[in-house]
Amino acid sequence: MKFKILAIPFARQHGEDAQLAGRDPGRFNKMMHTLRDQMVLAEELGYEGFCLTEHHMQVEGVECTTNPLFWNMYIAQHTKNFKVGQLGMNLTAMNPITTAENIAMLDHMTGGRVFAGFSRGNTPRWTATMGQHLDITSAESDKSEADQRNRRAMYENWRLIKSLWTDDLTEHQGEFWNFPSNVEWEFNPTKLWGGDNPVDGNKILRKSGIVPRPLQKPHPKVYAPFSYSMETARFWASEGAKMVSFVTADKEEFMPVILEQCLAAAHENGLKETTNNDVLALGAHLMMGKTPAKTKEYRGMFDTLWKQAYDAPPYHVPLGRVWDGSRQQVLDQVCTLAERYQIDEFFVWHHVNYFGDEIEQEALIEFAEGVIKQVNG
């Protein structure tokens, strides 16, 4: 089985009341080094890789994941085979052309260790700020015009990125982006080496590409965080991507329907060999301790954080699955999920620097000793 970490770095720690912690260079530096050390340890313990969400303007010191690609490169420099990725990069408000370029470059610079993840953006503060030139705000899944505009941008931007990664030259005219822009272009190297007729008879550049295309062929594996939107699940399944779900056990009755719909969407789009394992990975919050008392302490601090920062306006994020039992209990839970859904990939949601390095490393070690080594030898 494969186990990846969804790392959530904080520039503040439990019990603190510091203002603007995310703006403090010293705090950021400490968080950066803690994340590095924990991910180096994770590779040694048998975790396959790690990823981060994308957030901006997190001045409070919560989820300081500005530019996951920089974090990916930083951790890749300190590990050997550890995969690095995102869950995910914003695919609505941000420029899809530079996103495609940057992930492709990172794929080369890490020797093909990159996996890509994309999301619609659930945070209006920064999604609306970054997307103001496109009149884009965050996803609400409420079928409003703003929500539908966000979804249209995701569809268009992914298809542009995929073309930039896989086609020799791309020509795209869309609702949000044109590639290339309507520009007059007369450049002798383009005539000599620029591919098949990229410039039309009016000397307008009609086709172009990014440099480079990814090292991995046809491109890095793609993931998408998923809650309950069937439309989102069907879209990504039809594109060959894998959903990552942290849903709670009481919502798992929907999983068979979701899997059926995802497989149907993939098969309808020509991906006839697609299986459950191609479209679904599951995850949980990780808070294991060496003793029941330590696990209880960790869970208590986590519950306080969740009420303060997650199950609160504007998010009210569902808690999702939690792994906070003994080694045997968590192993049984993982194996049951793997057998029930016929999957072999799992993500652990792991906070970094907030609960303290000792507690956080202990959780990584307990899961590795109790689960990863037991299933992978």
Count of domains observed in the chain: 1
Residue 65 lies in a domain: yes
What distance in Å separates the CA atoms of residue 259 and residue 264, rounded to the nearest whole number?
Answer: 8
Which residues are CB-neighbours of 362 under 8 A, at least 6 positions away? 288, 289, 290, 294
Residue 18 lies in a domain: yes
CATH of the domain at 50: 3.20.20.30
Residue 164 lies in a domain: no
Domain region containing 248: 2-87+221-376
Residue 323 lies in a domain: yes
- What does pTM read for this prediction? 0.96
What distance in Å separates the CA atoms of residue 279 and residue 162, rounded to the nearest whole number?
Answer: 18
Which residues are CB-neighbours of 211 under 8 A, at least 6 positions away? 101
Q: pLDDT per position in the chain (377 positions), as tens?
A: 999 999 999 999 999 999 999 999 999 999 999 999 999 999 999 999 999 999 999 999 999 999 999 999 999 999 999 999 999 999 999 999 999 999 999 999 999 999 999 999 889 999 999 999 999 998 887 889 999 999 999 999 999 999 999 999 999 999 999 999 999 999 999 999 999 999 999 999 999 999 999 999 999 999 999 877 889 999 999 999 999 999 865 567 788 888 999 999 999 999 999 999 999 999 999 999 999 999 999 999 999 999 999 999 888 888 999 999 999 999 999 999 999 999 999 999 999 999 999 999 999 999 999 999 999 98
Residue 140 lies in a domain: no
Residue 37 lies in a domain: yes
Residue 124 lies in a domain: no
Question: Which residues are registered as beta bridge partners of 243?
Answer: 224, 280
Residue 235 lies in a domain: yes
